[in-house]
């Protein structure tokens, strides 16, 4: 994983040269607003990390001057790759990431752990010689998960492991007890709509090939269930691998459709409920979930930079979100993204490499639970006039896995 992290970091140096357009779409819903395309594929693990435009500039649709400039970065890129794969920096990002998540664990919006982790990162940025290190205050929601439990009552009693979704409503204080309808898809639910009224709707959808395509059941499950008269919904966790582990996440409601409580249950339990129903059993479940509504608190977006030596007012952002959900370590979502952002800058500092533009590491706050991009939205509002200073912004929030490429969003010219 340490190598993976630096594969991405190394690429950043090359990538900033290529991106000359401005990209204002740094909020999470950019995926829906503008087309995306696979920008470039990286070579296999351990191969020299040099993008195709450096390796084969003749294939790039760029001006000769720009091609020559890209080629001129080859020595710097090779120095970075050598340092990461075989130098003193080998394994550093992964080790630092491990230390970070061990020290702070889950860092949910509004928590002390989140603010402590922000203090730590500010300190780390200063210690590693970044400039203009500062936090910018943001008012954020304070998320605290309430009581959550569910039990299968008939045909036998069984505890159901679950995690409430955000921003689900809670159940009435005494909970809900109702018959159950298990469906395998939205189409299946429509076909069985007449049986749904007054029931707890369980979605036992198959894995749809990717997280993104499967997550639609978590996102729209409560809407679809309520539309046909369901009074609550339990959704199979969005994962293709489970050891009886439920997975939480965001969901939505729709105007004029009743807001019903929604939680994710495990893959194993969803399959069990489906099998029982299909074998002719009548299912009944009790379900109780409470939501705490706490006053908003103050958090911080975090910044640190290496000032550019030719175009200091032009920025290249490297970012991830420092907060996480409450029930995991938030290692991949998204301490990994924040760590590669800062480590790329620390590495350049250690190697004494400079850049034309200012490289700015940005650690967004309050992106996940109860939030959906509060930190980044605040930044966009507050820095509206400065957004045009960005030549490119990197955002890592899909897990710090083996790098296979970059998703690019922006104008044709920037692409
Ligand atoms: Zn995330």
Q: Give the pLDDT confidence score for residue 51 in this predicted structure.
A: 53
182 & 301 share domain:
no
Which of these three, 291, 322, 345, is where a domain ends?
Answer: 291
In angstroms, what is the span from residue 95 Cα to ligand 1's centroid? 21
- The dihedral built from the CA positions of residue 308, 314, 316 and 317, taken in this order, carries a sign that is positive
Let me know if residue 350 belongs to a domain. Answer: yes
**Helix, strand, coil share of the chain (percent; to 5):** 35, 25, 35
pLDDT in tens, 247-300: 999 999 999 999 999 999 999 999 999 999 999 999 999 999 998 878 999 999
In angstroms, what is the span from residue 92 Cα to ligand 1's centroid? 23
Active site residue 305: no
Full domain range(s) for residue 251: 145-291
In angstroms, what is the span from residue 397 Cα to ligand 1's centroid? 5
Reduced to 3 states, what is the DSSP secondary structure of residue 14? Answer: helix
18 & 94 share domain:
yes
In angstroms, what is the span from residue 261 Cα to ligand 1's centroid? 23
Q: Give the pLDDT confidence score for residue 404 in this predicted structure.
A: 73
In angstroms, what is the span from residue 396 Cα to ligand 1's centroid? 8
Nearest to 49 by CA among 380, 415, 405: 405
**Which residue did the predictor score with more confidence, 177 or 415?**
177
Let me know if residue 414 belongs to a domain. Answer: no
302 & 285 share domain:
no
pLDDT in tens, 354-393: 999 999 999 999 999 876 789 999 999 999 999 999 999 9
Query: Where does residue 202 rank: exposed (0-12), middle (13-18), buried (19+ CB within 10 A)?
Result: buried
pLDDT in tens, 255-266: 999 999 999 999
Total tally of structural domains belonging to the chain: 2
Catalytic annotation, pick one of 83, 314, 343, 367: 367
């Amino acid at each position: 994983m340490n190598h993976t992290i630096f594969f991405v970091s190394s690429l950043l140096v090359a990538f900033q040269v290529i991106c000359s357009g401005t990209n204002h779409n740094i909020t999470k819903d950019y995926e829906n607003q503008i087309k995306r395309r696979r920008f470039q594929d990286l070579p296999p693990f351990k191969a020299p990390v040099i993008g195709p435009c450096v390796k084969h500039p003749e294939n790039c649709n760029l001006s000769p001057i720009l091609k020559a400039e890209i080629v001129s970065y080859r020595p710097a890129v090779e120095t970075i790759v050598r340092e990461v794969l075989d130098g003193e920096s080998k394994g550093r990002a992964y080790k630092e990431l491990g230390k970070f998540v061990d020290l702070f664990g889950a860092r949910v919006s509004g928590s002390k752990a989140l603010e402590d982790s922000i203090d730590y990162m500010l300190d780390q940025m200063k210690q590693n010689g970044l400039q203009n290190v500062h936090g910018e205050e943001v008012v954020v929601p304070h998320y605290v998960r309430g009581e959550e439990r569910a039990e299968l009552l008939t045909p036998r009693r069984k505890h159901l492991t679950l995690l409430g979704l955000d921003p689900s409503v809670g159940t009435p204080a005494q909970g809900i007890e109702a018959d159950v309808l298990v469906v395998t898809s939205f189409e299946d639910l429509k076909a069985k709509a007449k049986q749904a009224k007054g029931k707890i709707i369980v979605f036992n959808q198959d894995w749809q090939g990717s997280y993104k395509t499967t997550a639609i059941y978590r996102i729209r499950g409560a809407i679809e269930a309520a539309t046909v008269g369901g009074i609550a919904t339990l959704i199979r966790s969005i994962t293709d691998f489970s050891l009886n582990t439920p997975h939480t996440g965001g969901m939505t409601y729709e105007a004029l459709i009743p807001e019903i409580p929604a939680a994710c249950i495990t893959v194993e339990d969803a399959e069990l409920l489906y099998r029982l129903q299909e074998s002719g059993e009548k299912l009944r479940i009790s379900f109780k979930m409470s939501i705490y509504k706490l006053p908003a608190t103050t958090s911080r977006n975090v910044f640190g930079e290496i000032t550019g030596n030719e175009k200091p007012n032009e920025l290249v952002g490297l970012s991830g979100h420092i907060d996480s959900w409450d029930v995991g370590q938030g290692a991949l979502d998204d301490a990994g993204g924040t760590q590669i952002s800062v480590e790329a800058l620390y590495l350049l500092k250690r190697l004494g490499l400079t850049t034309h533009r200012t490289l700015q590491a940005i650690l967004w706050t309050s992106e996940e639970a109860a939030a959906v991009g509060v930190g980044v939205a605040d930044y966009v509002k507050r820095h509206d006039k400065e957004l045009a200073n960005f030549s490119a912004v990197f955002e890592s929030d899909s897990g710090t896995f083996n790098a296979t490429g970059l998703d690019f969003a922006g104008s044709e010219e920037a692409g």
